[in-house]
Amino acid sequence: MNLIARRQTKQQATTTVRVGDVIIGGSELVVVAGPCAIESYEQLLSTALEVQRLGATILRGGAYKPRTSPYSFRGKREGGLEMLGQIKALTGLPVVTEVMDARDIERIAEVADMLQIGSRNMQNYSLLTEIGKSKHPVLLKRGLAATLEEWIFAAEYIMAEGNDQVVLCERGIRTFETYTRNTVDIAAIPALKELTHLPVFLDPSHGTGRWSLVNPVALAGIAAGADGLIIEVHPQPELALSDGDQSLNFEHFAELMERVGPVAKAVGRLKE
């Protein structure tokens, strides 16, 4: 079958996805950064200003959070969206945030420049279909036990509705290893480039679950051909309400950004 996402020839250019003024899938490597969850105005603002200063061009921040335990912090929801809108206006950074429920798409799309489909929802077919109808750029995370084929079909659900603005994001898969939260499938990056014409991102934060492993794995992703990174950053990771163990503080994010440029350049990409 001739899938819309499928790369037709080796020469076919990667589809570019436009998020605000940022082009994903072009010559420039794109870094998305911000907190796992929006916790307060001050937390989001200080993180946004710092990641912007260091070269991130899109802000991430979860308002609706899928948590393993229903008793964990599940996000500030509408309040978080409001803060995201305010800080987007203040900084000029386009923003990406997760949609968990099709009923929230309209409200979220009013603020967000890009909609994230989380790992747990990669095979939520009614959500994928509704996101496809929205025509908003989508960051489609890999399901935690999804094969590349299943993932490509998930993208196809969105694209079949006429939305070709899809970025695939490798975020690690579940294996027998327990030291890391997930196992990053670096080979998935060039494999998806071979199989599809969609841009491919790497999320080394969820991929490793440990901040000390985020930077080396992020650089490996760039070397493997990723079009961009999405990185969790928090002003005080030890106090974070979600994913503190894998969040970089400002100093560690600065170290990453110093090393991104030279690695990108070595594989023919740009990062100012």
Q: Is 51 left (phi over 0), alpha (psi -120 to 50) or beta?
A: alpha
141 binds, among ligand PEP, Mn ion, none (CB under 5 to 8 A by kind): ligand PEP
**Token representation of residue 198:** 């969609």
Residue 231 touching Mn ion (CB under 5 A) = no
Out of 171, 193, 234, 269, the residue judged to bind ligand PEP by CB under 6 A: 171
| Residue 141 interacts with ligand PEP (CB under 6 A): yes or no | yes
Assess 181 for contact with ligand PEP (CB under 6 A).
Answer: no
What's the per-residue H, E or C state across 170-191?
ECCECCCCCCCCCECCCCHHHH
Residue pair 22/28 in contact by the 8 Å Cβ criterion: no
CB of 89 to Mn ion, least distance (A): 24
- With CB under 5 to 8 Å by kind, the binding choice for 55 among Mn ion, ligand PEP, none is none
Segment lying near ligand PEP (by CB under 6 A), choices 26-34, 86-94, 118-126, 183-191: 118-126
61 binds ligand PEP (CB under 6 A): no
Number of residues that bind Mn ion (CB under 5 A): 2
Window 211 to 250, contacts with ligand PEP (CB under 6 A)? none
Q: Confirm or reject binding of residue 243 to Mn ion (CB under 5 A).
A: yes
The CA distances from residue 249 to 53, 77, 221, 255, in Å, are 14, 24, 20, 10
Other Cβ atoms closer than 10 A to 86? 14
Closest CA to 214 of 190, 166, 178, 246: 246
In the block, tokens 């998930």 appear at 154
6 or 252, CB closer to ligand PEP?
Answer: 252
Q: Which residues bind Mn ion (CB under 5 A)?
A: 36, 243
Q: Which residues bind ligand PEP (CB under 6 A)?
A: 36, 62, 66, 118-120, 141, 171, 203, 206
